[in-house]
A and B are shown apart, each in its own frame.
Chain A
Amino acid sequence: MHTPPEEHPVRAALSFHNISAIYIFVIMFIVFSVWIPEKFLQPGVWRSLLDAEALTGLAAIAALLPLVAGSLNLAVGAQVGFCAILSAFLLSKAGLPIALQLPAVVLAGALIGYLTALVITRLRVEPIIATLGMSSVLLAGMAWVSGSQQILDLGPDYRRIATTQFGGVTVPVYVLLVVAVVTWYVLERTPVGRRMYAAGYNPEAARLAGVDVARLKTGTLVAGGAIAALAGALLTSRINAGDPTVGPSFLLPALTAVFLGSTQFRRGRFNVWGTLVAMYVLAVGIKGLQLGGSPRWVNDLFYGLALLLAVALSQWEKRSARRR
């Protein structure tokens, strides 16, 4: 029988197909370095980028987990926002100490994920609709808790969580790194992760192979909710206020990173490192455009187009894999 030759492993790993985001990064780096070197090539710019985008990274992983098991979560932004407001509320209005406030917020995030899962698995509402509805409910909750105003007076200590540095790198970056490593380990190195991918790709076949698809979906939404809550708590610490307007804007960058990330490294599979690389590459693009003097709306345009392109790219990847 004729068998086609296997691709050379190193060449395949370095191909544009496999790591397009890194090639795009190199191109953008060169363009911005030539265009606006005095602004773009500053260490401070890069450090603040690393720090600011760590929260987007957490939101992206919060969206990634459910998506691996087949649920598209459109409520990620609202989850981050609600938990950010809740963090501020528990500190300033309820007067909870940080040692109680942080666990309470993470628990609340997990509970939100669990409720979403119940709607999806018990009431059989499509994930996209369930999370859209949940998103609106959370936005209402945010407005109610905050009275649609910033919550200030968080005390002097809370701000330090997100601003403390170790070796020139802030705490949120370390948090992201830990969450990413744990997520990578679960997804790629454990039976649970394998079953999650199977459930996401073909729920019926996974069920026939003995996988409890509903339980897995619930687990990913609960874990995603807890991670989104962590992002919310750090957000409030970082801006030293509970701001009801910031959270929802995390949704688009997070989803874009997850979909673009799926075209990186793992041949169309949603994965952690692809997600983070894609997210930082997109952030560098935005930063460069802002430093070059582009107006704010370019943000939305950039992420919107990037999301469309990323999903189109992952579809193309699927089709080309089928032809091969």
Chain B
Amino acid sequence: MAEIVEAPVGGEEATSAQTRLPFESADSLLVVRDLVVHFHTDFGVVKAVDGVSYSVNAGETLAIVGESGSGKSVNASAVLGLVPPPGKVHRGEIIFQGQDMLKLDDQRLREIRGNRIGMVFQDPLTSLNPVFSVGAQVSEAVQIHEGLARKDARERATELLSIVGIPRSRERFDDYPHQFSGGMRQRVMIAMAIAMKPALLIADEPTTALDVTVQAQILDLLGSLQQEFGMAMILITHDLGMVADQADTVAVMYAGSIVEYGTVDDIYYRPLMPYTLGLMASVARMDQARSGRLRPIRGQPPSLIFRPPGCPFHPRCDYAREVCWQEQPELLEYDQQHLAACHFAGNLPEPIRKDEP
């Protein structure tokens, strides 16, 4: 695990009295405000997360959607205090259950992580230690966080493994990760993540490495666990289908910023920002007869070192006008609880489309 980067938190106490976020309420579990994470590399400063704000309410699912390199995973690791070096949290607040995570020491952070916030990563094989049996790894988690004795921990771990649907969990306790299939490994990861009935589960591409039928099993499991424990979830993914299925609110990330943020219905049925529009138009739909060619977004996602000036999406945008490369649009509320960072949100001009092969 990466070390925790000490965060030079810029803000004074005044920042928490800032304007309330659109989905923020009294029972908001997690509030992230103006988070900035930079990676200082030999090639320049990678602005992986550049001023991101969002909130998660208890029991709800926030999906963070974006393409590779949009900063969605770094965002999550910042919440956990796990930004890998050379990354640094430069600014912002991460308020979890009333505490600013960026001001906590390692000890306190470790208590919250795993106890109150669980996490599931994309690749269950690299997340599990190959030289320890699966049972030992789950009971280690239980021992540390619950303070159970070895024998009790074994009992509890076995119970957890059966909760997440591992058949014959008692027999399989002493098996090693390589003896498990991908889906089973991911179940083991989930068992560890939910051991302490966390209030928040961060799932970073939890099913990307899995086959569809297994993905359905894992999503089903996450859904029922979420209901059972009243867990909130941050789901990080690029799969728009999975978001439609799981999310209550959606934040669309592009080049390190949130470009659109709203309820799942608003994002899918009333998108405001051309990038979201483009994403929706470029996915092939399984549920509809083919209606012609796909309408891809042209060009490539930008490098986070040389972020385009103004709106980061303007080089690929069909609607871009002069103002778009001159000024970066702010994420503003256009509709009730529906935010977009676009100069023309809700009022798009005529598209200027350049088709490319």
Note whether A and B form a binding pair. Answer: no
